[in-house]
Chains A and B, each alone.
Chain A
Amino acid sequence: MTPTTRRVAVVLAIAVAVAAVAFGATLGLWYLPFVAGALAGATRARFPGRTALVLLVGPLAWAAVLLWDAGRGATVGATARTVSALAGLPPTAFVTVVATLLVALLQATAGGWLGRAITHRGRRS
């Protein structure tokens, strides 16, 4: 596989993962960021920024859904503000959006760690 082909494959794989996590979220599959993180962590592919992408696949996907909903007229910002206020947090949309993305990030991180831990054999002693 040439470096270019390899890059295209990586980009495609990430796009598919983001799309899958995003679609899964709308179906109630909230744990897909973890699954995606685990799969990404388990892959043996190495490329620059791999760790960051593993971590961000969940938040990117969830952010995409929120943006998509907002674009379709859903009251994403106002709802986020309401949720922040009801939770006793500063009543800004930012808080709930960050909390949402943080949940995805934590999942992806935990998944990535688990995937890497299982597949990574380390240095032989």
Chain B
Amino acid sequence: MPARIRRTVNIAGALVVAAVLLLALGAGYGPLPALGPELAPGQGVWASAAADTTAHDETIRVPGLSRPATVSFDSDGYTSVTTATDDDLFLAQGYVAARFRLTQLDLERRAGEGRLARLNGAAAVPSDEFELRLGLLRTAQAEWSRTAHDSPAGRALLAYAQGVNDWLAELDGNGQWPPIYGLTGTRPARWTPVDSLVVQEVLTQQLDFSTIPLDYALLTHSLGPRLTMAWFPVRQPTTMSAQPYDPGPYPALPPAPLASPNANAAAVPGLTAARVGQGPVTDAATSAGTILRDVRDLPVNQQDLHPDSNAWAVNGPEAAGGGAILSGDPHLQLSLPSYWFEVSLRSPGYDVAGASLPGLPGVVLGHNRDISWSITNTENQATLFYTERTDPAHPNQYYWRGAWEPERHVHYRIDVRGSSPVDLDVGLTVHGPIMTVDGQTESVTWMGNYPSPDVAALLSLNRARDFTGFRSALRDWQAPALNFVYADHSGNIGALGAGYYPQTPAGSRPWLPMPGTGADDVTGTIPFAALPQSYDPPSHRIVSTNQRPVAADYPYYIGTSLNFDPGYRQTVITGYLAGHPAMTADHSAALQDDVTDELAAQLVPALLRAVRGTSLTGPERQAVAQLTRWHDTMAVDSAAASIWWTFLTTYLTDVFGPRWTRVPVRTDPDVLALSTLPIPLREALQRWTLHDPDNSAFTPPNGAHRDAPTVMRAAFTTAVTELAARLGPNPAGWTWGRLHSRQIPSLTGATGLGVGPYPADGDPWTVDAADGGMDSTFGPTWRMTVAWTGTGPPAAWAVYPGGQSEDPASPWYQNLVPLWRSRQTLPLAAKPGHDATWTMRGDRP
């Protein structure tokens, strides 16, 4: 080849390679970000290395602030905000939240608004499609349009957004964006009040968007209606599940109308109340399966799973020295950063401390100078699924109340990082969004889709002075329905299950997908006066553990045995409180750490009776000895805990497994897999074992007759054999910690940014619950005790598994985890001697 040609080829090759390389590095390619600017030292992902990882004394210009304000931090990151006006308070709160939790704020709103794929790429498209279909964004927009901008809630939301945006403007200047933005080449948009309301909606979805009717559809299809309702009844006939905090009597009032129209329903003018016949249900199992699979594909923190929250209050003679004591530990998925940001807020209108939710103004649970409150999920049925009657001759229409009605359609374009946008069409019926047309057209009426003035209610709650103010504040709380447990400075205690409890006409079956032709539509909600509630009960104790909060004669439908906790935690807590007639704050805090398994307390004696006198192997005899000495505590070093757990799983599978073969477990393993020990089956097994040992369920179809002791003996043998194979021949070494662990994953899902797994005690129904599998990721996200046993402000303590900062490089990223793991708490106030103070000034001279 002539030299000139070689040289030309060489130059051309070098030019092409250089151009391609620079273009790829400068602009990115597909999902790959622009690595040139993002990896250049001092820029992109490296810029955040220079960011302040905690806080130090500084004066900050914060546009929008009307008067100087201070934010102080103690050495653990506890944050105290003090301002001269209420608006400034929420502006400063927004600024602080953004500085320490910007990624979390942005991820939460993106999740709710269906914009995760813009950040995370194609893998997030299913989540975006689901959320846009469900309509969190539409609801938040409707809520904001109903909010007067000069109302307390409107002003707080606007001020909060200003505070977040002040920090975004600073980041525009210094470039110290959290690393995720450098990696993805995106930047967060400015914050709006709608974003705050979307964050609230995401939490509502996590607590309230239950798919239980879809599970009932699958169970009915696979087990048959008789067995389904026998094993998963609306109410369990057990005394343990009947421990309401509101025992009645109950007023029988007609349903109250919902305060606002469904923001995700097609409006139909000129409604008539004509009752029409049931439409044909074509393929309930198929559509139910499709929706369930979509839900289970969502990130875990967008699913309604594993309710294990506790809250209790004692007063009068039950509290040492009189007064009242409140303890609360809401359980959710654990994550770093945590759901909560610990803060004190002081302004002319507020003096409140506790756990705030990044994205929302105010404190979600905590105390002010007069009252304190904690929350548990009511677990009532807030989702109603409707099978719409459709006909190919009437495209895009559904039959409702005797006429064909047009669907309303909303179109979205989902931007996807590194890929083409995805178009989405969402159909809306009068019931709500159409979640699938697979098999049949299925829409959902979800209480979270009704604009709910929760922020206004929360701010009123933050300012409440007594139980009247507390009730008044929660009158407007709609979704998610929550049990607010209360204690105050006068020594009063109370509870209120505030929120929407949808009601349908008598004769409807809301636990299943219902015909959408009109006869089963929501007629209203339980009126406020008839909500579950209690105030200064004679027992001087109120306990809320996601159990059914009302007794059997409550005149309203609120859910089935699949909704509510079976009462194991309730029993342990009630027993502990009864055993400590003069509770101290230390007693109360210690109860939060209890890992007693009440089901074991009930069934292990029956197991020991069943194996007594039978021929046992050596390991079996040692296992029996372990169980005999055991006190039902799921301690990390307990071998008996492993034996019990393995036995129980085997026992339940042996009983129900032969009839479970047709159940589509893989469609919703979190609810349907026998290995998760579904709540109603546990309750049934307990009841039969103790009171009906010859129940026909113990005998497999076409099998030889068996009774409870027979199955227990077989399950025990299997459990011991399995443990020996897995953990070795010596039962003393089968400690629970070898089977069971906890972890606190990163909110981003990134491996290596979480804590654990580490051997851990507890199980899904201990007070200190460890739920979500043998490597548990659900647990107490906040432990708080407030003691109103002296004069003046309460003494309060709290801890959560995380830290104030979301930055893994920060000393405040997980500094509270060791305390949480070792069951210590910190005062819910700044420790003396603040480490750092921000002096904040507005843009006015």
Contacts and interface: CB of A to CB of B under 8 A. Distances in A.
B37 interface: yes
Interface string B740-779: 0000001010111100000000000000000000000000
Contacts of B15: 114
B21 interface: yes
Contacts of B48: 79
Nearest to A73: B50
A91 B755 CA distance: 13
A76 B50 CA distance: 8
Given A25-B42, A114-B14, A85 B750 contact: yes
B45 interface: yes
A45 interface: no
Interface in A70-125: 74-76, 78-88, 90-91, 96, 99-100, 103, 106-107, 110-111, 113-114, 116-118, 120-125
Contacts of A38: 18
A44 to B, nearest CB: 16
Contact of B11 (A28, A82, A87, A117): A117
Contacts of A91: 750-753
A82 B753 contact: yes
Contacts of A114: 11, 14-15, 17-18
A78 B808 contact: yes
Nearest to B808: A82
Interface stretch (A8-16, A46-54, A61-69): A61-69
B46 A79 contact: yes
A31 B26 contact: yes
Interface string B17-43: 110011001100000000111011111
A103 B10 CA distance: 22
B6 to A, nearest CB: 7
B25 A30 contact: yes
Contacts of A78: 49, 808-809
Contact of B750 (A86, A96, A107): A86
B7 A28 contact: no
A4 interface: no
A111 to B, nearest CB: 7
B46 A69 contact: yes
B18 A34 contact: yes
A26 interface: yes
Interface stretch (B152-160, B175-183, B438-446): B175-183
A81 B37 CA distance: 19
A82 B806 CA distance: 11
A9 B684 CA distance: 88
A13 B21 CA distance: 26
A83 B26 contact: no
B53 interface: yes
B271 interface: no
Contact of A86 (B14, B35, B40, B748): B748
Contact of A62 (B7, B40, B182): B40
Contacts of B45: 79, 83, 96
Nearest to B43: A28
A74 B47 CA distance: 9
A74 B810 CA distance: 11
Given A75-B53, A113-B14, A28 B750 contact: no
Output the residue of A25, A31, A34, A110 with the most chain B CB within 10 A: A110
A100 B41 contact: yes
Contacts of A120: 7, 10
Contact of A111 (B18, B42, B748): B18
A25 B18 contact: no
Contacts of B808: 78, 81-82, 85
Nearest to B48: A79
Contacts of B36: 30-31, 103, 107
B7 A75 contact: no
B189 interface: no
B39 A103 contact: yes
Contact of A82 (B6, B14, B37, B809): B809
A14 to B, nearest CB: 19
Contacts of B43: 25-26, 28, 30
B2 interface: yes
B24 to A, nearest CB: 10
B3 interface: yes
Contacts of B26: 30-31
Contacts, number: 141
Contact of B182 (A34, A83, A88, A125): A83
- What's the interface size class on B, roughly? 35 or more
B42 A117 contact: no
A62 B49 contact: no
Contacts of A106: 21, 25
Given A30-B25, A83-B182, A88-B750, A113 B3 contact: no
A121 B17 CA distance: 20
Given A86-B748, A103-B35, A121 B7 contact: yes
A74 to B, nearest CB: 4
A34 B748 CA distance: 34
B3 A34 contact: no
Contacts of A90: 752
Output the residue of B7, B15, B39, B43 with the most chain A CB within 10 A: B39
Contacts of B22: 31, 34, 107, 110
Nearest to B50: A74
Nearest to B10: A117
A76 B49 contact: yes
Contacts of A80: 49
A122 B3 contact: yes
B642 to A, nearest CB: 31
B37 A30 contact: yes
B41 A110 contact: no
Contact of A26 (B17, B41, B751): B41
Contacts of B41: 22, 25-26, 62, 65-66, 69, 100
Given A26-B41, A31-B22, A31-B26, A85 B3 contact: no
Contacts of B25: 30-31, 103, 106-107
Nearest to B4: A125
A28 B37 CA distance: 7
B39 A124 contact: no
Contact of A110 (B18, B35, B182, B748): B18
A117 B39 contact: no
A100 B35 CA distance: 8
Output the residue of A66, A74, A79, A85 with the most chain B CB within 10 A: A79
A82 B53 contact: no
B28 to A, nearest CB: 12
Interface string B123-148: 00000000000000000000000000
Contacts of A26: 41-43
Nearest to B21: A110
Contact of B40 (A25, A117, A122): A25
Contacts of A69: 41-42, 46, 49-50
Nearest to B180: A86
Contacts of B11: 114, 117-118
Contacts of B179: 79, 82-83, 86
Contacts of A79: 45-46, 48-49, 179, 809
A31 B19 CA distance: 12
Given A25-B41, A96-B39, 14 more contacts: A26-B41, A28-B40, A69-B42, A75-B809, A81-B808, A82-B753, A82-B807, A87-B183, A96-B45, A107-B25, A116-B14, A117-B11, A117-B14, A125-B2
13 contacts: A25-B42, A30-B25, A34-B21, A38-B18, A75-B53, A86-B183, A87-B183, A91-B753, A99-B39, A107-B21, A107-B36, A110-B18, A116-B14
Interface of B: 2-3, 6-7, 10-11, 13-15, 17-18, 21-22, 25-26, 35-37, 39-43, 45-46, 48-51, 53, 179-180, 182-183, 746, 748, 750-753, 807-809
Of all A-B residue pairs in the complex, the 9 with the closest CB atoms, nearest first, are A91-B752, A78-B809, A65-B41, A30-B40, A75-B809, A26-B42, A79-B49, A85-B750, A114-B14
